[in-house]
Amino acid sequence: MMDSEHKSVNTQPLFCDRTSKTIDIAGARVDLGRAYRCGYPEVVFGEQKSTDLILRILHAQADAGQASLVTRITLETAAAIADVFPASVYSLAGKCLRTLSADASKKTAGRVAIVSAGSTDAFVANEAAETVRWMGHVADLFDDVGVAGPQRLLAVLPEIQTADAVVVVAGMEAALASVVAGYLSCPVFAVPTSVGYGVSVGGLVALAGMLASCAANVAVVNIDAGFKGGFLAGLVADRTREIHHG
Protein backbone atom coordinates (compact mmCIF):
# COMPACT_ATOMS: atom_id res chain seq x y z
CA MET A 1 0.00 0.00 0.00
CA MET A 2 1.33 3.42 -0.94
CA ASP A 3 2.50 5.59 1.94
CA SER A 4 -0.07 8.31 2.63
CA GLU A 5 2.47 11.09 2.25
CA HIS A 6 3.14 9.97 -1.32
CA LYS A 7 -0.50 9.81 -2.34
CA SER A 8 -1.60 12.33 -4.93
CA VAL A 9 -5.32 12.86 -5.26
CA ASN A 10 -6.48 15.36 -7.88
CA THR A 11 -9.68 16.90 -6.58
CA GLN A 12 -9.84 19.56 -9.29
CA PRO A 13 -11.65 19.20 -12.62
CA LEU A 14 -9.45 18.32 -15.58
CA PHE A 15 -10.24 21.74 -17.08
CA CYS A 16 -10.65 24.37 -14.39
CA ASP A 17 -9.96 27.58 -16.29
CA ARG A 18 -12.54 30.08 -17.47
CA THR A 19 -13.22 28.22 -20.72
CA SER A 20 -14.97 25.41 -18.86
CA LYS A 21 -16.85 27.48 -16.29
CA THR A 22 -20.46 26.52 -15.68
CA ILE A 23 -22.98 27.61 -13.09
CA ASP A 24 -25.89 25.57 -11.80
CA ILE A 25 -29.20 27.35 -11.42
CA ALA A 26 -32.64 25.93 -10.74
CA GLY A 27 -33.59 24.18 -13.96
CA ALA A 28 -30.41 24.63 -15.99
CA ARG A 29 -26.62 24.52 -16.08
CA VAL A 30 -25.35 27.67 -17.77
CA ASP A 31 -22.20 27.32 -19.86
CA LEU A 32 -20.37 30.55 -19.06
CA GLY A 33 -17.18 29.22 -20.63
CA ARG A 34 -18.65 29.15 -24.10
CA ALA A 35 -17.93 32.84 -24.65
CA TYR A 36 -14.20 32.12 -24.25
CA ARG A 37 -14.15 28.85 -26.20
CA CYS A 38 -16.41 29.85 -29.08
CA GLY A 39 -16.26 33.65 -29.18
CA TYR A 40 -19.87 34.24 -28.11
CA PRO A 41 -21.96 33.33 -25.06
CA GLU A 42 -24.41 30.47 -24.92
CA VAL A 43 -27.63 31.29 -26.75
CA VAL A 44 -30.93 30.54 -25.01
CA PHE A 45 -33.52 28.56 -26.98
CA GLY A 46 -36.60 30.09 -25.38
CA GLU A 47 -39.32 27.80 -26.70
CA GLN A 48 -40.87 25.68 -23.92
CA LYS A 49 -38.85 27.50 -21.25
CA SER A 50 -40.62 29.45 -18.52
CA THR A 51 -40.06 33.16 -18.17
CA ASP A 52 -38.59 32.61 -14.71
CA LEU A 53 -36.02 30.12 -16.03
CA ILE A 54 -35.01 32.43 -18.87
CA LEU A 55 -34.56 35.28 -16.41
CA ARG A 56 -32.35 33.14 -14.17
CA ILE A 57 -30.16 32.27 -17.15
CA LEU A 58 -29.93 35.92 -18.23
CA HIS A 59 -29.00 37.00 -14.71
CA ALA A 60 -26.19 34.42 -14.65
CA GLN A 61 -24.86 35.68 -17.98
CA ALA A 62 -25.20 39.33 -16.98
CA ASP A 63 -23.30 38.69 -13.74
CA ALA A 64 -20.50 37.25 -15.89
CA GLY A 65 -20.53 40.33 -18.14
CA GLN A 66 -22.03 38.44 -21.07
CA ALA A 67 -24.65 39.61 -23.55
CA SER A 68 -27.65 37.33 -24.07
CA LEU A 69 -29.65 36.19 -27.05
CA VAL A 70 -32.97 34.41 -26.51
CA THR A 71 -34.70 32.86 -29.52
CA ARG A 72 -38.29 31.68 -30.09
CA ILE A 73 -40.09 33.66 -27.39
CA THR A 74 -43.46 35.40 -27.34
CA LEU A 75 -44.11 39.10 -26.96
CA GLU A 76 -45.48 38.47 -23.46
CA THR A 77 -42.30 36.73 -22.34
CA ALA A 78 -40.16 39.45 -23.94
CA ALA A 79 -42.14 42.15 -22.10
CA ALA A 80 -41.54 40.42 -18.77
CA ILE A 81 -37.83 40.18 -19.50
CA ALA A 82 -37.68 43.85 -20.55
CA ASP A 83 -39.06 44.84 -17.14
CA VAL A 84 -35.90 43.36 -15.61
CA PHE A 85 -33.50 44.13 -18.48
CA PRO A 86 -34.76 47.47 -19.85
CA ALA A 87 -31.89 47.78 -22.34
CA SER A 88 -32.94 44.61 -24.14
CA VAL A 89 -34.19 44.67 -27.73
CA TYR A 90 -37.03 42.43 -28.94
CA SER A 91 -37.84 41.60 -32.54
CA LEU A 92 -41.47 40.61 -32.93
CA ALA A 93 -40.82 39.51 -36.51
CA GLY A 94 -37.94 37.24 -35.47
CA LYS A 95 -39.24 36.30 -31.98
CA CYS A 96 -35.76 37.05 -30.59
CA LEU A 97 -34.62 39.13 -27.64
CA ARG A 98 -31.06 40.35 -27.27
CA THR A 99 -29.27 42.23 -24.54
CA LEU A 100 -26.44 44.56 -25.43
CA SER A 101 -22.86 43.78 -24.57
CA ALA A 102 -20.79 46.40 -22.78
CA ASP A 103 -18.24 46.64 -25.59
CA ALA A 104 -20.63 46.43 -28.55
CA SER A 105 -20.11 50.08 -29.45
CA LYS A 106 -16.34 49.57 -29.66
CA LYS A 107 -16.52 46.93 -32.37
CA THR A 108 -15.99 47.64 -36.03
CA ALA A 109 -18.95 45.88 -37.57
CA GLY A 110 -18.89 43.51 -40.50
CA ARG A 111 -21.87 43.26 -42.81
CA VAL A 112 -24.19 40.37 -43.58
CA ALA A 113 -27.01 40.32 -46.13
CA ILE A 114 -30.07 38.21 -45.39
CA VAL A 115 -32.06 37.42 -48.52
CA SER A 116 -35.53 35.88 -48.18
CA ALA A 117 -37.65 34.45 -50.95
CA GLY A 118 -41.06 35.56 -49.68
CA SER A 119 -42.98 37.19 -46.85
CA THR A 120 -43.83 33.77 -45.40
CA ASP A 121 -40.11 33.27 -44.76
CA ALA A 122 -39.93 36.48 -42.72
CA PHE A 123 -39.76 34.88 -39.28
CA VAL A 124 -36.74 32.74 -40.13
CA ALA A 125 -35.03 35.60 -41.98
CA ASN A 126 -35.52 37.98 -39.06
CA GLU A 127 -34.19 35.39 -36.62
CA ALA A 128 -31.03 35.27 -38.72
CA ALA A 129 -30.83 39.07 -38.81
CA GLU A 130 -31.23 39.46 -35.04
CA THR A 131 -28.49 36.88 -34.47
CA VAL A 132 -26.10 38.82 -36.69
CA ARG A 133 -26.93 42.07 -34.87
CA TRP A 134 -26.38 40.45 -31.49
CA MET A 135 -22.93 39.45 -32.72
CA GLY A 136 -22.17 43.13 -33.33
CA HIS A 137 -22.53 43.22 -37.11
CA VAL A 138 -24.78 45.01 -39.56
CA ALA A 139 -27.60 42.86 -40.94
CA ASP A 140 -29.32 44.10 -44.08
CA LEU A 141 -32.56 42.30 -44.87
CA PHE A 142 -33.76 41.88 -48.45
CA ASP A 143 -37.34 40.57 -48.49
CA ASP A 144 -39.46 39.06 -51.22
CA VAL A 145 -36.80 38.44 -53.85
CA GLY A 146 -37.85 34.91 -54.79
CA VAL A 147 -37.08 33.33 -58.15
CA ALA A 148 -40.67 33.71 -59.37
CA GLY A 149 -39.82 37.38 -59.93
CA PRO A 150 -36.10 37.43 -60.78
CA GLN A 151 -36.10 41.15 -61.54
CA ARG A 152 -36.51 41.76 -57.79
CA LEU A 153 -33.20 40.08 -57.03
CA LEU A 154 -31.36 41.90 -59.81
CA ALA A 155 -32.57 45.24 -58.45
CA VAL A 156 -30.81 44.69 -55.08
CA LEU A 157 -27.92 42.53 -56.23
CA PRO A 158 -25.28 45.31 -56.14
CA GLU A 159 -25.98 45.82 -52.42
CA ILE A 160 -25.90 42.11 -51.66
CA GLN A 161 -22.56 41.73 -53.43
CA THR A 162 -20.85 44.04 -50.93
CA ALA A 163 -21.64 41.82 -47.92
CA ASP A 164 -19.01 39.76 -46.08
CA ALA A 165 -21.39 36.78 -46.03
CA VAL A 166 -24.94 36.11 -47.17
CA VAL A 167 -27.82 34.14 -45.68
CA VAL A 168 -30.48 32.94 -48.12
CA VAL A 169 -33.82 31.90 -46.63
CA ALA A 170 -36.29 30.08 -48.87
CA GLY A 171 -39.00 27.43 -48.86
CA MET A 172 -40.89 25.72 -51.70
CA GLU A 173 -38.19 24.35 -54.07
CA ALA A 174 -35.59 26.75 -52.57
CA ALA A 175 -33.88 27.55 -55.88
CA LEU A 176 -33.03 31.04 -54.62
CA ALA A 177 -29.85 29.92 -52.83
CA SER A 178 -28.23 28.67 -56.05
CA VAL A 179 -29.28 31.75 -58.01
CA VAL A 180 -27.94 34.19 -55.41
CA ALA A 181 -24.70 32.27 -54.90
CA GLY A 182 -23.99 32.34 -58.63
CA TYR A 183 -23.48 36.11 -58.37
CA LEU A 184 -21.28 36.14 -55.24
CA SER A 185 -17.67 35.55 -54.19
CA CYS A 186 -18.49 35.11 -50.49
CA PRO A 187 -19.97 32.19 -48.52
CA VAL A 188 -23.73 31.71 -48.76
CA PHE A 189 -25.50 30.02 -45.87
CA ALA A 190 -28.74 28.54 -47.12
CA VAL A 191 -31.65 28.14 -44.71
CA PRO A 192 -34.53 25.99 -45.97
CA THR A 193 -37.92 26.80 -44.49
CA SER A 194 -40.98 24.68 -43.88
CA VAL A 195 -43.01 26.99 -46.14
CA GLY A 196 -44.84 25.09 -48.86
CA TYR A 197 -47.57 22.53 -49.39
CA GLY A 198 -48.08 19.07 -50.88
CA VAL A 199 -44.75 17.59 -51.89
CA SER A 200 -42.84 20.28 -49.97
CA VAL A 201 -43.11 17.93 -46.96
CA GLY A 202 -42.49 20.54 -44.28
CA GLY A 203 -39.29 21.84 -45.83
CA LEU A 204 -37.66 18.55 -46.81
CA VAL A 205 -37.81 19.40 -50.51
CA ALA A 206 -36.25 22.81 -49.83
CA LEU A 207 -33.53 21.16 -47.77
CA ALA A 208 -32.78 18.60 -50.47
CA GLY A 209 -32.74 21.27 -53.17
CA MET A 210 -30.26 23.40 -51.26
CA LEU A 211 -28.06 20.41 -50.47
CA ALA A 212 -28.06 19.51 -54.17
CA SER A 213 -27.04 23.03 -55.22
CA CYS A 214 -24.41 23.16 -57.95
CA ALA A 215 -23.14 26.52 -56.62
CA ALA A 216 -19.81 25.85 -54.93
CA ASN A 217 -20.15 28.54 -52.25
CA VAL A 218 -23.42 27.27 -50.71
CA ALA A 219 -23.51 25.59 -47.29
CA VAL A 220 -26.82 24.44 -45.83
CA VAL A 221 -28.24 24.43 -42.29
CA ASN A 222 -31.32 22.79 -40.81
CA ILE A 223 -34.94 23.57 -41.71
CA ASP A 224 -36.12 26.90 -40.22
CA ALA A 225 -32.73 27.33 -38.50
CA GLY A 226 -32.43 31.09 -38.95
CA PHE A 227 -30.23 31.38 -35.87
CA LYS A 228 -27.72 28.88 -37.22
CA GLY A 229 -27.49 30.56 -40.63
CA GLY A 230 -27.09 33.98 -39.03
CA PHE A 231 -24.46 32.76 -36.57
CA LEU A 232 -22.32 31.16 -39.26
CA ALA A 233 -22.50 34.31 -41.39
CA GLY A 234 -21.58 36.38 -38.34
CA LEU A 235 -18.48 34.27 -37.76
CA VAL A 236 -17.38 34.96 -41.33
CA ALA A 237 -17.96 38.67 -40.73
CA ASP A 238 -15.77 38.39 -37.60
CA ARG A 239 -12.85 37.13 -39.67
CA THR A 240 -13.37 39.73 -42.37
CA ARG A 241 -13.37 42.47 -39.74
CA GLU A 242 -10.12 41.15 -38.26
CA ILE A 243 -8.44 41.12 -41.66
CA HIS A 244 -9.52 44.65 -42.55
CA HIS A 245 -9.20 46.32 -39.18
CA GLY A 246 -6.78 44.20 -37.17
Residue 194: give its domain's CATH number: 3.40.50.1970
**Same structural domain, 227 and 141:** yes
Q: Report pLDDT for 231.
A: 97
Per-residue pLDDT, 7:
37
The boundaries of the domain holding residue 50 are 22-98
Cα–Cα distance list, 231 to 48, 95, 227, 228 (Å) = 22, 16, 6, 5
Q: Is residue 236 part of a domain?
A: yes
Which residues lie closer than 8 Å to 135 by C-beta, 6 or more apart?
A: 40, 230, 231, 234, 237, 238
The low-confidence residues of the chain, meaning pLDDT below 70, are 1-16, 101-108, 242, 244-246
- What is the pLDDT at residue 20? 82
> What whole-number distance in Å separates Cα of residue 114 and Cα of residue 141?
5
CB 193 within 8 A of CB 177: no
Assigned domain for 8 exists: no
Beta-bridge partner residues of 30: 23
| Count of the separate structural domains present in the chain | 2
Does one domain contain both 226 and 147? yes
Q: Are 170 and 226 members of one domain?
A: yes
State the DSSP code for 6. G
Q: Does residue 225 share a domain with residue 114?
A: yes
Residue 9: predicted pLDDT: 37
pLDDT of res. 240:
82
Q: Where among 64, 98, 132 does a domain terminate? A: 98
Write the CA distances from 22 to 105, 135, 168, integer angstroms.
Answer: 27, 22, 35
Identify whether residues 65 and 112 lie together within a single domain.
Answer: no
Residues 188 and 144 in one domain: yes
Task: Say what the pLDDT of residue 162 is.
Answer: 95
88 and 131 share one domain? no
The predicted structure's pLDDT at residue 208: 97
Residues 154 and 187 in one domain: yes
